[in-house]
Amino acid sequence: MSDSSDFLYKMRHSTAHLLAAAVLKLWPKARFGVGPVVEEGFYYDIEIPDYKLSLEDLEKIEEEMRKLKEQNLEFKRAEIAIDEAIKLFEDLGQVYKIELLNDLKEHGTTVFSEIYSNGSSSKEQKVDRVSIYTTGDFVDLCRGPHVDSTQDIGVFKLTKLAGAYWRGDENNPQLQRIYGVAFKTEEELEEYLNLQEEIKKRDHRVLGRKLDLFTSSELVGQGLPLFTPKGTIVRDLLQNFVEDLNRQNGYLHVWIPHITKPDLYKVSGHWDKFKDDLFHVQGKDNEFALKPMNCPHHTQIYAFKPRSYRDLPIRFYETTTVYRDEKSGELGGLTRVRCITQDDGHLFIRDDQIEQEFDLLLEMQRKVLQAIGLTDYWIRLSLRDPNNKEAYLGDDEIWEKAQKTMADILEKRGIKYIPAEGEAAFYGPKMDLMVKDSLGREWQLSTIQLDFNMPVRFNLTYTDKEGKDRHPIMIHRAFLGSIERIIGVLIEHFAGAFPLWLSPVQVVLVPVGEGHIGWCRELAKELIDKNIRVEVDVSNETVGNKIRKAQESKVPYMLVVGDKEIESGQLSIRKRSDNNLYKMNKDEFVDMLISKDKNKEMEL
């Protein structure tokens, strides 16, 4: 067995076929869609006439998979004429495979061509022959690769069921998607399952409600979260921090409306690209759209008066919400929503200012990620797909210049990056900062995008030293990306225990008895006057219950106040992270809180 990731890919791909073979054994009339490899495992989309799978069925399927694995079944590959393949799958009653084959025959591609062709582009390329794989009684249309036999498959587990419309179209039949994971060893599987349990405990959808941060309402709509007072504090803290950073670095605050005429997006190119993802609004006389992005609006602020080369760089920023009509099945808590609040910024610069602006942006991004405790990151240089150039604005010369410029900036500064073809914005390449959270998961948050196209489409100009009109270059950037999404990420990263500066309540005062409440309220007022966020627990509960409640709410500090504390002036302090009691006078405690808050310290 190879230790390479290629082997893991082949093994997981083969396990998907083993899953399908087991389903076919148990339900001979099953029809199969597609079964690709995904992160850590695989899935297969399946239709079983007149039967809906349950979680109990997964155990039965797993058992059948193990039986088939022990039979040492080969993964037999054959290459046959496409018409012969169509006849074969007609005889097998596999209607979804026939549909894919007919698309391959007619167009040289399918919606799932990346699954069949392993990512290569076969658009409008005639296909005469296809490969099929046979595993026991199961026959599949597949490019491969696979392991030699089922005994080469390691350990696996089926993890969940989901519904999936055929080809992602809600007008098509809904199939049942069976997910699974596969690893080489039991230890790796156990490690993965333990991680999933920890992820489940940290689920921001559960913690967010438990910690009173956000909610949702069917009357408002799916993907439209509502933030409580405590959740709004977290939003405001993040927003204010980034806006302060913007102002300190020469950005100018702007404001734009939330709707626009379609004409704006037709000029920018967004209309053709994203019109199916827009919320359309019909006015009395005109059609409008809720804005899905802000850059076209910001171009019009730049364009409203003449600009000179001396005016550049011009840096606009705004924290504002955009709206995208995501499919219901793709929505999830705060990490995939229909309303996305962006800490957005757009720069209009000269060619000779590109490097200095990138230096400034990379440093600003570093400060933001350090403040929110996500310091393990790498840069993905997102490039145009060279095999699908028609999906992007601009000609080859513009793209080659933009992509080379960004690569040169990173290489000159010794910054490691990984190029990723096909991940660019449709108007320009990007530097995407990929951060790793405390559970080892990667998230794409910050982004810097270089755009030579949009200023030309909007005919934005500035007057150069010789008095000639020139087009500025545009940089699109966001540090947090989506405030909703980053809050979801941070809840899970910190397991709800935000650092002091982000905690909606920083201190809870716990009076021992009713006679201590007045003193606690006076102390709370002093702390509030110093911008410390504090609550007094006046509930009729024991001190122990009050402390447990504060710890469950992830409050950083609890102050227990009784006769001794009032008489001595020495505060009795408990941290959420341990059960020890610390003594400190009031001024020292306040100074410590202010210092930790100001310096965005992670540890209490």
- Token pair listed for 421: 């073809």
Active site residue 430: yes
Given its phi and psi angles, is residue 490 left (phi above 0), alpha (psi -120 to 50 degrees) or beta?
A: alpha
Q: Report the Cα 377 to chain-centroid distance in Å.
A: 14
Active site residue 295: yes
Active site residue 258: no
Give dist(CA 495, CA 103) in Å, integer: 47
The pairing of strands 138-141 and 129-135 is antiparallel
- Token pair listed for 369: 């990620």
Identify the active-site residue in 167, 202, 430, 554.
430
Give dist(CA 424, CA 541) in Å, integer: 57
Active site residue 342: yes
Identify the active-site residue in 346, 380, 493, 574.
346
- Tokens 């469950």 locate to 552
Give dist(CA 161, CA 61) in Å, integer: 12
Give dist(CA 550, CA 544) in Å, integer: 10
Active site residue 520: no
Instruction: Please list the residues that pair with 574 across neighbouring strands.
Output: 558
Identify the active-site residue in 94, 176, 342, 365.
342
State which H helix or E strand residue 569 sits in. none
Q: Strands (DSSP E) along 86-154, which ranges?
A: 129-135, 138-141
Active site residue 533: no
3-class DSSP state of 31: strand
Identify the active-site residue in 97, 295, 403, 506.
295
How many CB atoms lie under 10 A from the CB of residue 258?
Answer: 16
382 with 402: CB under 8 angstroms? Answer: no
**Residue 535 backbone dihedrals phi, psi, to 5 degrees:** -130, 150
Identify the active-site residue in 235, 324, 516, 533.
324
Give dist(CA 240, CA 317) in Å, integer: 12
Identify the active-site residue in 140, 344, 432, 451.
344
Give dist(CA 275, CA 289) in Å, integer: 9
Active site residue 346: yes
Give dist(CA 291, CA 550) in Å, integer: 41
Give dist(CA 238, CA 213) in Å, integer: 14
For residue 135, the 8-state DSSP code is: E
436 with 457: CB under 8 angstroms? Answer: no
Q: Dump the DSSP string for 331-342.
A: -BTTTB-SEEEE
Q: Considering only CA atoms, which of 572, 593, 573 is closest in space to residue 530?
A: 593
Give dist(CA 505, CA 99) in Å, integer: 57
Identify the active-site residue in 457, 476, 493, 574.
476
Catalytic residues: 295, 324, 342, 344, 346, 430, 476
